[in-house]
Chain A
Amino acid sequence: MKRIWKYLREFKKYCVLAPLFKMLEATFELFVPLVVASIIDKGIGASDINHILKMSLMLIILAVIGLTVSITAQYFSAKAAIGCATSMRHGLFSHIQSFSFSNIDECGVSTIITRMTSDINQVQNGVNLTLRLFLRSPFIVFGAMIMAFTIDFKAALIFAVTIPLLALVVFGIMFTTRPLYIKVQAGLDKILAMTRENMTGVRVIRAFNQENVEKEAFFVANDDLTKLSKFTGKISALMNPMTYLIVNGAIIVLIYIGAVRVNSGSLSQGQVVALYNYMSQILVELIKLANLIINITKALASAKRIDDMFNVESDMQEGSIEAMKPADEDNAVEFNHVSLRYKGGGDEAISDINFVAKAGQIIGVIGGTGSGKSSLVNLIPRYYDISSGQLKIFGQDVKDYSYKCLRDNVVTVLQKARLFKGSIRENLLMAQPDASEADMWEALEVSQSKEFVEKKAKGLDEFVEQGGKNLSGGQRQRLTIARAVIKKPRILILDDSSSALDYATDAALRKAIKNMEEAPTLFIVSQRAASLMHADQIIVLDDGHMVGLGSHEDLLASCKEYQEIYYSQFRKEERA
């Protein structure tokens, strides 16, 4: 809740002005009966048509003022609600950008998306309604009560009892339904995730004729959501009938007490009518309020969920060093008894790794599926924090660098090639905003993508769909490599990122990187011995442990695991 205040405070002015103008409007409404009374008393009473016309003009003037005031109120409240939502979205999005990988893993992509979209929408509606109408109701309710007290103290005590009773019902229902609305939202999240899954997995689902299974599962989840919504709705549906009962019950008592007091001479008939009118006015307000309360409850539930997301704190502390030492530092990367255990994961993903990569070297990382290759290289740009040991980049602990410095100098190309929607040019500029046309073509040439980009109708401006869906796997991979190369990093990590390339292209790629002007320290993670055999050092991993370190020749002579890998790929040719 605090968070919403923070964002609302930015629009303090509007938040105050909107209800203020609403109250003005209500006040002008209260003048109308007085004018009408004057028409009846003076106009009709004295048969003064002039007065009637004058007073009617007065009514029209009141209407015009009401219109102006009310539109102003609407404007301010729309401005506050939307401004608040817009800046909240900005705040949340920025906050999420500070999440570490494990944060995102924990929250889940689809949950984050719902928070960003439908939850903030709910809050926007809630704020708008609150400013426009919610604050008007107490004004009328308490105003009516005060007026009642000026008429007759004893009869007005009924108001003093009725209003807390009404508050009990209104807030009681709000209180019970709030957790229910949170559950409804969770059900909605589930449906959202399923919808998404049905699109990301469309090929597999259709290949296995799973359409019906998926549909059934969706139907079940949707049914659960419907049931829960209906249950919650049933409780909310009590609001109107209950307030109606209470207010009219109070009217019955009011008339009875009125009858007694009129009989004893302490109250007039007209005063009873006035008291009754005030009670009715309260009812009308409450009916309006009841219609809003559902939306406001939903908004509160959403606000809480948004707040939860804001409360997720990044689990890494950023360092402060802004620049890496110049290249005279010899040891580019130094692993010193490094181990990594993932949050919530069981065993160590990698254990006790020791090696030194000299600047400019090519380091190969090889090993079986799940042996920890990616885990190892993910530590270098500090995607995850090591659990024990020490990891130094150019002589400094990796934790001492600022993220920007670290990631400007260490670039990883991931196995899963991800491109963003936009042109090829925009995708390249994403890595290096000030890259020139020549830089771009150079990067494309190094990554072996020049040829196919040239063939595209629009060249660099060819459009890339979300996720690069309109490119082949190999093209995507090469473009992601181009995007990395254009940064001219000090350390470049290719995490199995040429798996979709054929051998010829793969070889040409490695050669091109080696021949780059300022050749980076290069880490190549691969399953193919052919991609690594010319590396300066090869790290052989097995089940998270380093079982070999050395050149191709050394390892082929001494490392059993490496031999197995190698001979599984080069059978007859090498043995012959």
Chain B
Amino acid sequence: MSDKSENKEKKDKKDKKDKKDKKDKKDKVEKKEEKSVKTLKSGKNDKSSQVVKKLLPRLKNQRFFLILSLLMAVITVLTTLYVPVIIGHAIDLIIGQGQVDFDGVFAYLTKIGIIIAITALTQWIMNICNNHITYHVTRNIRNEAIEKIESLPLSYIDKQSYGDIVSRVIADVNQLSDGLLMGFTQFFTGVMTIVGTLCFMLRINSLITLVVVLLTPLSFLVAKFIARKTFSMFRLQSSTRGDETALVEEMIDGASVVHAYSYEERAIERFDEVNEKLGKYSLNATFYSSITNPATRFINSLVYAAVAVVGAIAAIQGRLTVGQLASFLSYANQYTKPFNEISGVVTELQNALACASRVFDLLDEENELAEAEDAIDLAEPDGTLKLSQVEFSYVSGQHLIENFNLDVKKGQKIAIVGPTGCGKTTLINLLMRFYDVKDGSISVSGIDVRNLTRRSLRAGYGMVLQDTWLKAGTIRDNITMGKPDASDEEVIAAAKAAHAHGFITRLKNGYDTVIAEDDDTLSAGQRQLLCITRIMLVKPKMLILDEATSSIDTRTELKIQEAFNTLMEGRTSFIVAHRLSTIENADIILVMKDGSVIETGNHQDLLEKKGFYYNLYNSQFAV
């Protein structure tokens, strides 16, 4: 048994290491790619085809609409091409004065009427299909993105700028959606028109058709060449846009600081710097990609001239009538028009793909380390906790927490004190498994936390952080986060225990008052009281209080402390606090400095030791 678990542990470690290596490699590759984008040396075309490969499976469940849209496109194109033929026939019946076959003309006109009605209908259905496909695909991608955000490791989120991720989920997906819509509407019909016209031309003369067919790929090549060259420009444009969004977010969100230091002008200067850069990159991307259209049109004009020469000479030799040449030229024109459109769409698609690649980069980020398949649901934590030889750091190579050992018995109250930056919050990141230990292990109820489901582990804890985050919604929504089915009585009881009931009832709509995420209607203290109410409602088995009462005045704090004391009875709890008065009665006080525990014991022991804690304790009474 123990052998087995040991093996498993080894295997886990190895797996993790492998994954890490892979990640490192990936990082390197990514960096390299970024570099290549920056130097604009090579727009990697395989990159855009990779993006397409990722996009295709996401279109799969739209198969029905895709096929319907395709079908409608075929009908639309055929009828559209057919109408001029009938009109021609009708015109043939209008020869001259007194030579008009009215019955015949009427018959043709009725036919035209029916056909254009069909065309309009199929065109409309096709448009609706395309709308459906596009909006559903983008919706699904956004849903995927939010799922990804929920399962990304915190190490990624902590590192990333929020503005950049937001810009991927919103602006980039939008661009993708625009590109898709344009692609479907114009790409299908374009291709169909080409095929249709080709058939009509073949019926007239195969030699000249051959000339056309041989020359037109040129315009595709040109379009492709430009697209390849501009892909990296588009990517550069959207990454600069991401930078700009991040800066805007920082400056707007931090407006208080900007104002406090009269930083407005320099904020504008910094913004202008990025903005100018974005303008430059945008101009490059937009201008160079917009060359596609004139360039392909130029090739088409050459084709047109070639047809004119070959056709005219053939006509002189008597192998072609003038009328046939005329219709040939008009068909050649019609044949090349979709190429223009398609190449126009290709630029749009190119932009869309560049944006899509940023979205997919996000979607391809590695998730939190997957839970073991046989991960156990921690049903009823018994309150014991063991940290053995824990090692951790945020950046590999640096050492933050080293050889950390701790054995917690059921119902114990563990206080963590120490100067700022000593690793208190890091410890909580590890307990909640926001981050995984680099070495050693943490076990709850005797089970390694890596063998537990995250859900059940986190449900076992109640956490109140110094950073009081509330979500946009009502006060009630925020309180019942951990227990959505709580009754009103329970909510009020919890709020009373947290001494939040009073101020909540004074709000405009009481418990139904809507607050925004970064709302200023509540003070930091009030927000903290709400966070505490959340915990009071759930009554979890283990508690983590990270400076949970730091923003609350001491009078209220004393009262809350009583409530906490009742709550903590029989529950294992971890308390981080600066006010040493609140932790005097802890069972174990861990005094941390620079990532390791330098003193352990209860209040009396530590005071008698006259060590670091003693100094810390006495300093609060000094000036």
Alpha-carbon gap, A404 to B266, bound state (A): 13
Inside 8 A of A210's CB, which chain B residues have their CB?
Answer: 481
A472 adjacent to B316 (CB under 8 Å): no
For the complex of A and B, the 8 pairs showing the least CB-CB separation, nearest first, are A474-B420, A369-B525, A503-B620, A504-B619, A63-B301, A237-B127, A233-B131, A265-B97
B123 adjacent to A241 (CB under 8 Å): yes
**How does the 8 Å CB contact mask read for A75-104 relative to B, with 1 for contact and 0 for none?**
101110111011001100110111101001
Apart from A90-B275, A244-B116, A374-B523, what are 13 other A-B pairs with CB-CB below 8 Å? A40-B326, A74-B287, A78-B286, A90-B271, A101-B255, A116-B248, A205-B150, A215-B147, A295-B178, A370-B523, A500-B547, A507-B619, A569-B554
Q: Of B12-20, B169-177, B372-380, which stretch is located at the interface?
A: B169-177
Partner of A501, one of B249, B266, B420: B420
B458 adjacent to A368 (CB under 8 Å): no
Q: Of B43-51, B158-166, B384-392, which stretch is located at the interface?
A: B158-166
A40 adjacent to B325 (CB under 8 Å): yes
**How does the 8 Å CB contact mask read for A50-73 relative to B, with 1 for contact and 0 for none?**
001101100110111011001100
A63 adjacent to B305 (CB under 8 Å): yes
Q: Evaluate whether A62 and B116 lie within 8 angstroms (CB atoms) in the complex, with A124-B282, A192-B166, A369-B553 already known.
A: no
Q: Of A145-153, A329-337, A388-396, A406-414, which stretch is located at the interface?
A: A406-414
Inside 8 A of B272's CB, which chain A residues have their CB?
Answer: 90
**How does the 8 Å CB contact mask read for B179-195 relative to A, with 1 for contact and 0 for none?**
00110011000000000
Alpha-carbon gap, A471 to B455, bound state (A): 28
A430 adjacent to B266 (CB under 8 Å): yes
Alpha-carbon gap, A264 to B96, bound state (A): 9
A237 adjacent to B124 (CB under 8 Å): yes
Q: Evaluate whether A452 and B551 lie within 8 angstroms (CB atoms) in the complex, with A210-B481, A230-B135 already known.
A: no
Q: Evaluate whether A222 and B128 lie within 8 angstroms (CB atoms) in the complex, with A56-B305, A108-B516 already known.
A: no
B305 adjacent to A367 (CB under 8 Å): no
A113 adjacent to B83 (CB under 8 Å): no
Q: Of A174-182, A249-257, A352-360, which stretch is located at the interface?
A: A249-257
A565 adjacent to B553 (CB under 8 Å): yes
- B38 interface residue per 8 A CB criterion: no
Please give the distance in Å from B181's CB to the nearest CB on chain A. 8
B260 adjacent to A197 (CB under 8 Å): no
Q: Of B307-315, B404-412, B489-497, B596-604, which stretch is located at the interface?
A: B307-315
Q: Of B52-60, B198-206, B555-563, which stretch is located at the interface?
A: B555-563
Please give the distance in Å from B168's CB to the nearest CB on chain A. 9
A101 adjacent to B259 (CB under 8 Å): yes
Q: Of A1-9, A136-144, A164-172, A416-424, which stretch is located at the interface?
A: A416-424
Inside 8 A of B90's CB, which chain A residues have their CB?
Answer: 255
A258 adjacent to B297 (CB under 8 Å): no
- B503 interface residue per 8 A CB criterion: yes
Residues in B80-97 with C-beta less than 8 Å from chain A: 83-84, 87, 90-91, 93-97
Alpha-carbon gap, A444 to B553, bound state (A): 29
Please give the distance in Å from B352's CB to the nearest CB on chain A. 12
Please give the distance in Å from A230's CB to the nearest CB on chain B. 5
Q: Evaluate whether A259 and B102 lie within 8 angstroms (CB atoms) in the complex, with A53-B309, A414-B256, A465-B159 already known.
A: yes
A-B contact count (CB 8 A): 496
A499 adjacent to B616 (CB under 8 Å): no
Please tell me the size bucket of the interface on B.
Answer: 35 or more
- B232 interface residue per 8 A CB criterion: no
Alpha-carbon gap, A467 to B254, bound state (A): 9
- B250 interface residue per 8 A CB criterion: yes
Alpha-carbon gap, A307 to B528, bound state (A): 38
B123 adjacent to A248 (CB under 8 Å): no
Which of B337, B481, B528, B620 has its CB near the most chain A CB atoms (within 10 A)?
Answer: B620
Q: What are 23 residue pairs bridging A and B, where the CB atoms are less than 8 Å apart in the complex?
A: A43-B316, A56-B305, A90-B271, A93-B275, A96-B252, A109-B252, A110-B166, A116-B244, A118-B170, A195-B166, A203-B469, A210-B481, A215-B143, A222-B143, A226-B135, A240-B123, A245-B120, A265-B97, A418-B254, A483-B261, A502-B420, A504-B622, A510-B623
User: Looking across the interface, which residue of chain B has its beta carbon closest to that of A298?
Assistant: B178
Inside 8 A of A75's CB, which chain B residues have their CB?
Answer: 287
Please give the distance in Å from A36's CB to the nearest CB on chain B. 6
Alpha-carbon gap, A256 to B623, bound state (A): 102
- B588 interface residue per 8 A CB criterion: no
B139 adjacent to A226 (CB under 8 Å): yes
- B217 interface residue per 8 A CB criterion: no
B529 adjacent to A369 (CB under 8 Å): yes
Inside 8 A of B469's CB, which chain A residues have their CB?
Answer: 200-201, 203-204
B186 adjacent to A291 (CB under 8 Å): yes
Main secondary structure of the interface of B (DSSP, over half): helix
Q: Evaluate whether A565 and B555 lie within 8 angstroms (CB atoms) in the complex, with A62-B301, A502-B578 already known.
A: yes
User: Looking across the interface, which residue of chain A has its beta carbon closest to that of B426?
Assistant: A472
A255 adjacent to B91 (CB under 8 Å): yes
User: Looking across the interface, which residue of chain A has its beta carbon closest to that of B147?
Assistant: A215
- A196 interface residue per 8 A CB criterion: yes
B517 adjacent to A196 (CB under 8 Å): yes
User: Looking across the interface, which residue of chain B has its beta carbon closest to that of A288?
Assistant: B341
Number of interface residues of A (CB under 8 A): 184
- B331 interface residue per 8 A CB criterion: no
Inside 8 A of B261's CB, which chain A residues have their CB?
Answer: 407, 411, 430-431, 483, 487
Alpha-carbon gap, A211 to B282, bound state (A): 37
B98 adjacent to A117 (CB under 8 Å): no
Please give the distance in Å from A405's CB to the nearest CB on chain B. 9
Alpha-carbon gap, A113 to B248, bound state (A): 7
Inside 8 A of A345's CB, which chain B residues have their CB?
Answer: 521
Q: Evaluate whether A70 and B154 lie within 8 angstroms (CB atoms) in the complex, with A52-B312, A255-B87 already known.
A: no
Inside 8 A of B616's CB, which chain A residues have their CB?
Answer: 502-504
Alpha-carbon gap, A236 to B178, bound state (A): 14
User: Looking across the interface, which residue of chain B has its beta carbon closest to that of A111?
Assistant: B252
Alpha-carbon gap, A505 to B119, bound state (A): 79
Q: Evaluate whether A52 and B309 lie within 8 angstroms (CB atoms) in the complex, with A70-B293, A452-B421, A568-B558 already known.
A: yes
- A441 interface residue per 8 A CB criterion: no
- A273 interface residue per 8 A CB criterion: yes
Which of B159, B260, B271 has its CB near the most chain A CB atoms (within 10 A)?
Answer: B260
- A346 interface residue per 8 A CB criterion: yes
Q: Evaluate whether A500 and B170 lie within 8 angstroms (CB atoms) in the complex, with A66-B301, A86-B276, A370-B503 already known.
A: no
Alpha-carbon gap, A573 to B580, bound state (A): 13
User: Looking across the interface, which residue of chain A has its beta carbon closest to that of B429?
Assistant: A203
Partner of B264, one of A98, A109, A245, A534: A98
Partner of B150, one of A116, A215, A381, A430: A215
Alpha-carbon gap, A429 to B300, bound state (A): 59
Alpha-carbon gap, A457 to B271, bound state (A): 29
- B438 interface residue per 8 A CB criterion: no
**How does the 8 Å CB contact mask read for B436-476 relative to A, with 1 for contact and 0 for none?**
00000000000000000011001101010111011110000
Alpha-carbon gap, A104 to B519, bound state (A): 11
Alpha-carbon gap, A163 to B120, bound state (A): 19
- A466 interface residue per 8 A CB criterion: yes
Alpha-carbon gap, A570 to B580, bound state (A): 11
Inside 8 A of A478's CB, which chain B residues have their CB?
Answer: 420
Alpha-carbon gap, A260 to B481, bound state (A): 78
Please give the distance in Å from A114's CB to the nearest CB on chain B. 7
Partner of B322, one of A44, A93, A418, A475: A44
User: Looking across the interface, which residue of chain A has its beta carbon closest to that of B516?
Assistant: A108
- B136 interface residue per 8 A CB criterion: yes
Which of B167, B182, B262, B420 has its CB near the most chain A CB atoms (within 10 A)?
Answer: B420
B472 adjacent to A197 (CB under 8 Å): yes
Alpha-carbon gap, A189 to B98, bound state (A): 67
B252 adjacent to A203 (CB under 8 Å): no
Inside 8 A of B169's CB, which chain A residues have their CB?
Answer: 191-192, 195
- A262 interface residue per 8 A CB criterion: yes
